[in-house]
Amino acid sequence: MTFEVHAQGAVHVFDCFACAIHRMAPVCEHCRAPIVNQGVEADGRWYCCAHCAREEGKAGVADRV
């Protein structure tokens, strides 16, 4: 069984969630890891965590735990 993901005008067909996550997840601007959880946005750029955002010079970014 397959399912479709409609995003930004394109249709992607997958047979498992792991494949969909691998293809569709945004990528951290610092370490290039796929962002599977909430991530951190700073100045319009996405990071997997506050540490990576700070490493890229984004001040005032904190993890919310």
Q: Is residue 6 part of a domain?
A: no
Q: Is residue 7 part of a domain?
A: no
What pTM did the predictor assign?
A: 0.73
Of 29, 26, 25, which Cα lies nearest the Cα of 57?
29
Q: Structural domain tally of the chain?
A: 1
Could you read off the pLDDT of 13-42 as tens digits, one per residue? 999 999 999 899 999 999 999 999 888 999
Lookup: tokens for 15? 């047979």
Domain that holds residue 47: 25-65
Which of the 8 DSSP states describes residue 27?
A: B
Q: Is 14 exposed, middle or buried (0-12, 13-18, 19+ CB in 10 A)?
A: middle
Percent of the chain predicted with pLDDT > 90: 69
Which of the 8 DSSP states describes residue 37?
A: S
